[in-house]
Chain A
Amino acid sequence: MLGSPSLRLVGKRLLMAVPIVLGVSILTFWVLNLIPGNAAQQLLGPEASPDQIQQLEEEMGLNRPQVVRYLDWLGGAVHGDLGTSLVSRQPVTDELGPRLAVSGEVVGLAFLISLGLAIPVSLLAARWPNRMLDRISMVVSTTGLSVANYVFALLLVLLFAVQLAWFPAIGYTPLSESVTGNLRSLALPAIAIAFPLFCFYTRFLRSDLVDQMQGEDYIMTARAKGIGPWQVLLRHAFRNSAFGLITIVGLNLSTLIGATVIIEQIFALPGIGQMLLQAINTRDFIVVQACVIVFAIITVLANLLADLLYAVLDPRIRYGSN
């Protein structure tokens, strides 16, 4: 039953996403070329002679003008070739897959944990506003939003890895090796990413629900029908909040990606965040460029997806309002 308004929206948003991703690639390329002392120098070390450097530069095509190099890179990227790592000499695309899988798993778990907790907590809080649970959840989520995720991650390590030894402090067990081992190795990183999200979602959802319960006429209509309070909350208020929640979840993904960099560093997870950080530290700008583009595409796609889901789910947009 998808009407044309939705389809038109999809087309428009996709068209808008293309220049954004292009812009991001240009920006990264430009920023990375500000690096003083280029990659050849970096690779050969400080003792390299100017001749050696020049030779390698020519080999790598670094002496060509920036625009040419960018277009060259772009040509490859469009065909899925994001270049060859300066350090490992391997195609970047090959390494990206498994890395993305690890990061994706952590982020997916984090979403599950945060939404899985935030939704019931907000519903309970909104069912009895200003009571104990509501107050506690508000204090926790307000405070939680002021805690840096790396601090929270270290607290988790201190408590659950060092003191209680429930989970390993660092390291990653692949899913293929052991499912429980895999989950155990990802538990702390996922919780570290999930906690701020939980705080954020709870705050949003709780206040959106309470605002509706106290202010919206359709809630009054629902109550006047004589249906129970939970039904009013779930079928009427939550249903409407869900649309806003979807958008927020989509928008969060970009913040989350930042979080993976630091969390993967703390827990030594072989994800894309770690890959980026290592590449930054070895000045492997081909890999940096690739990671940043992947991050940007994910962000843009996530926002797009949130918009589209909203459009598909919300009847007001689906059928074109008025």
Chain B
Amino acid sequence: MAVTEAPASSVLAVDETAPAPARKWLRSLAIGLPAGLLVLIFGACFVLPLVAPIPKPTGGDVLSSSLPPFSPGHLLGTDPNGNDIFSRILYGGRSSLIVAISVNLLGLALGGSLGALSAHFGGAVDTIIMRVLDVFIAFPSLVLTLAVAQSLGPSQRNTIFALAFFSIPAFARISRAATLRLREQPFMVAAKLSGTSTWRILVRHIAPNIGPQLMTFAMLGMGIIMIIEGALSFLGLGIPPPAPSWGNMIAQGQLSLSATPLLVVWPSLALFLTVIGFNQLGEALRARWSGR
């Protein structure tokens, strides 16, 4: 049965990897849709407050507190402190996204190179690095982050550090595994034999090859980080109020869940859309890159 065989087995010109037009279209939709959603979200969080008359997210007026949605000047209404909810969503998203991006960049840069180096050198270095990573990975991630966040004190920068504690080991693992797989490739062997410097091998051969995998992981990682960052803020250990974040907005809304559920719904929806955007983009990229 052809399905069980490697593509090379069917000599006939049924190129199963070449997508028919319909499929190609679907595939680009699978990437385009979440990518478009993310562009919208990024635009709304980073650009909209600059160009549109969006009220400040903090320092609201008690007189205009708890206004319903579609009140004049307040698209989603205001919270019990009189702050504009829409504005808090945008600014909160901004800080959540900054945290998630920073954490992933840190993980990508530090964890990615750590893993690649570890796999590249092998031997004792590799063993030691892997043992240390095992320790981090044995840690329930949220618990570790909670402890770190608490000892450093709640702030955006500290949230980033706390979360980086476990994004770095995670990236290192992926990058190590990917590099190990590369090591056997002929071009790697050739590069080594021809005396190419380690640095050059890393930059010219390893990085471009493990890049796609790490990028996919980073996309999925964005979703995870957004959720954990929300959890930290939800528990009061992330971005401290009154500065908005989706997590602390949800926590605040929880206090009056039965009376004004919308306070929880809006930031939850924003979080959900962002996370599903990253997750779907990650999945689509993975499908594309593994399909080759």
Footprint of B on A, CB under 8 Å? 16, 19-21, 23-24, 27-28, 31-36, 142-143, 145-148, 150-151, 154-155, 157-158, 162, 214-217, 220, 254-255, 257-259, 261-262, 265-266, 276-277, 280-281, 283, 288, 291-292, 295-296, 299-300, 303
Contacts and interface: CB of A to CB of B under 8 A. Distances in A.
Given A146-B279, A148-B227, A215 B138 contact: no
B260 to A, nearest CB: 11
B155 to A, nearest CB: 13
Contacts of B140: 254-255, 257-258, 295-296, 299
A299 B1 contact: no
A266 B254 CA distance: 9
Interface residues of B, number: 43
B268 A27 contact: no
A292 B136 CA distance: 12
B125 interface: no
Interface stretch (B44-52, B101-109, B116-124, B143-151): B143-151
Interface in B43-84: none
Is chain A's interface secondary structure helix, strand, loop, or mixed overall?
A: helix
Contact of A162 (B237, B257, B268): B257
B189 interface: no
Nearest to A25: B135
Interface of B: 1, 3-4, 131-132, 134-136, 138-144, 146-148, 150-153, 223, 227, 230-231, 234-237, 250, 254, 257-258, 261, 264, 268, 271-272, 275-276, 279-280
B275 A146 contact: yes
18 contacts: A23-B132, A27-B135, A146-B275, A148-B271, A150-B230, A151-B272, A154-B268, A158-B264, A162-B257, A215-B4, A216-B4, A217-B4, A255-B140, A261-B142, A277-B235, A280-B150, A288-B150, A292-B144
A258 B143 contact: yes
B89 to A, nearest CB: 14
Given A20-B138, A154-B264, A162-B258, A295 B143 contact: yes
A265 B135 CA distance: 27
